[in-house]
């Protein structure tokens, strides 16, 4: 069956796109000026600001969840205050260090963090499995988006592998790790302007396809943020259904094209 001229133009365009024969020229922006004095100040104060932020946001999350009024022996409550363990986890993730090294950081910064008593790296290791700690971390995740929920309107989904050990490297080892045991799959929706994750999922299968997770990520993002104007993604997310989902929340879909697609 002979293709119509419009379909042929689309096929040629995709072929040129795949072969890098189409030059992308970004639009000029008048907002590219950098206030270097503020940049320098932010760099100098980053560590102090981050430690104080962790303390403040975790304490507020505990109040919002009502955990400050929970009984000491309540189910799922760890032997140490869950807010202290949550602060320890966030410090560990900020520095990107092992449990043993994180124990030292917690002891070093415990006064600034408002941690009552130091704890061992084994306690920190077990903290990831405590329900109260998980609740606090999830509440912190939600709270970090509040300042930009009226400002961020453009989003993009993507997937990656999070190493289960600091010795692992997803890009280098994922091809050789057939069982995917060294990694946890993460699929997230990200604000493209301020780079905050708006929604995230962790499939049990480390090699799960990403497109089926697009709908819950988009719905959660649309519920949190005031507006979704545009969603951009690679070819893995290109489907008529996903395009319709973006339009259903008021956005414009911008997905990378695949060979063989039709104008429909």
pLDDT tens-digit readout, 79-96: 889 999 999 999 999 999
* Rounded (10°) CA dihedral 262, 156, 184, 65: -140
Torsion on CA atoms 186, 192, 196, 201, rounded to nearest 10:
-20
Alpha-carbon distance of 197 to 55, in angstroms, equals 21
pTM summary value = 0.77
CA distance 183 to 206: 7
Q: State the Cα–Cα distance between residues 229 and 191, nearest whole angstrom.
A: 11
The architecture of the domain spanning 148-255 is 2-Layer Sandwich (3.30)
pLDDT tens across 193-239, in order?
999 999 999 998 888 899 999 999 999 999 999 999 999 999 999 99
* Sheet strands side by side (includes 252-255): 197-201, 183-191, 154-163, 230-233, 252-255
* Higher per-residue confidence, 184 vs 89: 89
Burial class (CB in 10 A: 0-12, 13-18, 19+), 135: middle
- Give the whole-angstrom CA distance, residue 103 versus residue 155: 36
pLDDT digits (tens, 9 = 90+) for 114-123: 998 999 999 9
Handedness of CA 49, 54, 58, 61 (dihedral sign): positive
Mean pLDDT for the stretch of residues 24-33: 70
Contact criterion met (CB below 8 Å) for 123 and 145: no
Share of the chain above pLDDT 90, in %: 66
Boundaries of every domain in the chain: 39-143, 148-255
* H-helix or E-strand spanning residue 191: strand 183-191
The pLDDT score that the predictor gives to residue 170 is: 46
């Amino acid at each position: 069956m002979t293709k119509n001229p419009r379909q042929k133009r689309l096929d040629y365009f995709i072929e040129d796109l795949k072969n890098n024969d189409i030059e992308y020229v970004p639009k000029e922006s008048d907002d590219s000026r950098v206030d270097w004095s503020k940049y320098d100040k932010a760099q100098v104060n980053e560590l102090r600001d981050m430690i104080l932020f962790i303390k403040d946001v975790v304490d507020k999350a505990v109040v919002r969840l009502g955990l400050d009024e929970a009984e000491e022996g309540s189910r799922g409550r760890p032997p140490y205050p869950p807010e202290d363990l949550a602060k320890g986890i966030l410090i560990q993730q900020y520095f990107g260090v092992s449990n043993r090294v994180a124990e030292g950081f917690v002891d070093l910064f415990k006064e600034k963090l408002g941690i009552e008593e130091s704890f061992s790296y084994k306690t920190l290791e077990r903290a990831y499995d405590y329900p109260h700690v998980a609740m606090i971390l999830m509440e912190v995740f939600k709270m970090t988006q509040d300042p930009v929920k009226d400002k961020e309107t453009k989003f993009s989904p993507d997937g990656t592998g999070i190493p289960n050990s600091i010795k692992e490297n997803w890009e280098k080892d994922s091809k050789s790790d057939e069982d995917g045991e060294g990694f946890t799959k993460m699929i997230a929706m990200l604000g493209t302007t301020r780079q905050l994750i708006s929604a995230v999922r962790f499939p049990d299968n480390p090699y799960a396809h990403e497109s089926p997770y697009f709908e819950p990520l988009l719905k959660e993002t649309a519920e949190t943020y005031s507006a979704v104007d545009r969603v951009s993604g690679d070819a893995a997310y290109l489907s008529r259904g996903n395009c319709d989902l973006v339009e259903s929340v008021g956005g414009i879909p911008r997905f990378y094209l695949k060979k063989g697609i039709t104008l429909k």
